Amino acid sequence: MKRLNGMDAMLLYSETPNLHTHTLKVAIIHAADYHAEHGEPFTFDVFRRTVARRLHLLDPLRYTLVDIPWKLHHPMWLEDCPVDLDYHLRQVQVPSPGGRRELDEVIGAIASTPLDRRRPLWEFHFAEGMADDRFALIGKVHHTLADGVASANLLARLMDLTGSPSADERDDYDTCEAPSPGELLRAAGRDHMQNVAALPKVALDAVRGVTRVGRRSRERDRDTERARLFRTPPTFLNHVVSPGRTFATASVALAEVKETARALGVTFNDIVLGTAAGGLRELLLRYDGRADRPILASVPVSTDRSPDRVTGNEISGLAVSLPVHVDDPLERVRLTSRATASAKEIHDLLGPKLQGQMMEYLPPPLAPALFRWQSSRAAHNRVMNVAISTVPGPREHGHVGGARVTEIYSVGVLSAGSAFNMTVWSYVDQVDISVLSDDATFDDVHEATDAMIHGLTEIRRAAGLPGLSTVDTAMAPAPALR
């Protein structure tokens, strides 16, 4: 058994009827050459066989939640549990003509229902009916199981990078028995003693971190053009989130994003956030009729990037001001880069692991009820307007059962009062963009991905670079219907 850490527990407690806390991982498989190479078509049975033979490598997919009697501590993971693949692996049909738009609609429907906590917290949906010999593997994995880095490592274990079966594949894995209530209570007591012993240091670290941040803020000139915590402006993206989900994707060339960053002397992440600022400005002008104040983005950062970590949430977050009120795209990039540097400095002064350490002390009997109350009433998130993530994916093409994976999309969760989450996942030579929203925000969620493409194009043209090229290895674009 292993205890959920504080961040894991927070993600579990914060799940409510309208705020699901599962993440999505989507792998697009192009199986055009599979039949000729393997003598059989690529089918659900091939995928099922692959998962069965690699399940012993995918440890978190064999975890089951175990509650502590009387909720005296955070739940625990029971490891090496039996897995019913007939339940967890499912087939789904993509409507004709089977392109990006139709697949995105299927993914949104899958994202709209919660996972069953009585079982291991994941599902894989095998999407058939796509055009051009494509299939999609739609993974729905609870955020409590894995953050972005752990999910990327887990996905790498599901795939192989050679195109041929791995010597590590086998059909069996160890299983264990559930603990008794007495064992759970004794483990909870031991962990509580450790937390009590650690509390003085955590409190001292918090005081020191807040003091450092306060001192630095007084030293620095006050920037009135920057969004701040607890002062986020209201926008059409911020309201009580509905239970239904919508999903949209787009792809751009990795080389062109890197070229843009080099030309402007900023980082890859600065370009992603600068692109988001431009795209969100377009959307705010369309839906709110104004974009006259900067907004605040929550940007997760990993505190453990170990390539061997496949479970747990070792994350904290940056609060980055996005200058959506600025019309000049190059000035937006400059201000975004400066705001990101400032957010990183504040994060380091406060302590990168402090957020996770403080979550250890969430009260299990009270936290879920507080999150439910918040989710049903929060029409304005004062801590963040939007969530934006970047995840570095594999630099080589992966394969599933010998079929090549050509695109990977990933997205996190929606938070109370915030109906916009964008994740940018780099994979081989492309950048795959995903946007998650609810079904009460956009007329067509593909307006959001269109706006991001427009935002990046604006930056490139202002920098004297050509427009974006088409990514031939990805699905055809799905422009918004307007």
Domains annotated on the chain, with CATH:
220-390+415-462 (3.30.559.30)
**Widest CA span of the chain, in angstroms?**
69
Q: How far is CA 276 from the centre of its chain?
A: 16
Instruction: Supply the DSSP symbol for 380.
Output: S
H helix or E strand, kind and range, residue 48? helix 44-54
Q: Are strands 386-392 and 2-3 parallel, antiparallel or unpaired?
A: unpaired
pLDDT in tens, 68-93: 999 999 999 999 999 999 999 999 99
Residue 223 pLDDT more than 80?
no
Q: What is the Cα gyration radius of the chain?
A: 22
Provide the sign of the torsion angle of the four alpha carbons 154, 156, 160, 166, taken in this order: negative
**Of 73, 143, 239, 446, which one is the catalytic site residue?**
143
- Evaluate whether 387 touches 421 at the Cβ level (below 8 Å): yes
Is the CB of residue 458 less than 8 Å from the CB of residue 473?
no
6 within 8 A of 362, measured Cβ to Cβ: yes
d(CA 156, CA 25): 12
Sheet holding 122-128, edge to edge: 89-93, 122-128, 134-142, 22-30, 403-411, 399-400
Report the distance separating Cα 365 and Cα 367, nearest Å. Answer: 6
Is residue 431 within 8 A of residue 473, CB to CB? The reply is no
pLDDT tens track for 155-204? 888 987 555 455 466 666 566 778 889 989 999 999 999 999 999 999 99
233-272 pLDDT, tens digit each: 999 999 999 999 999 999 999 999 999 999 999 999 999 9
Side chain identity at 206, as an amino acid letter? A
In this prediction, residue 210 carries a pLDDT of 86
Q: Report DSSP state, residue 477.
A: P
Q: Residue 352 CB: number of other CB atoms within 10 A?
A: 17
pLDDT band at 222 (very low <50, low <70, confident <90, very high): low
How confident is residue 149, by pLDDT bands cut at 50, 70 and 90?
A: confident
Residue 435, strand partner residues: 248, 422
Share of the chain above pLDDT 70, in %: 95
Q: How far is CA 367 from CA 68, 121, 361, 413, in A?
A: 15, 20, 10, 18
Burial call 70-106: b when 16+ CB within 10 Å, e when fewer: eeebbbbbbbebebeeeebbbebebeeebbbbbbbbb
The predicted-structure confidence for 312-371, as pLDDT tens digits, reads as follows 999 999 999 999 999 999 999 999 999 999 999 998 998 888 888 999 999 999 999 999
Residue 291: left (phi > 0), alpha (psi -120 to 50), or beta? Answer: beta
Region 359-388 average pLDDT: 92
Each residue of 215-236: b (16+ CB within 10 Å) or e?
eeeeeeeeeeebbeeeebbbbe
Active site residue 397: no
Is the pLDDT reported for residue 24 higher than 60? yes
The strand pair at 134-142 and 295-302 is best described as unpaired
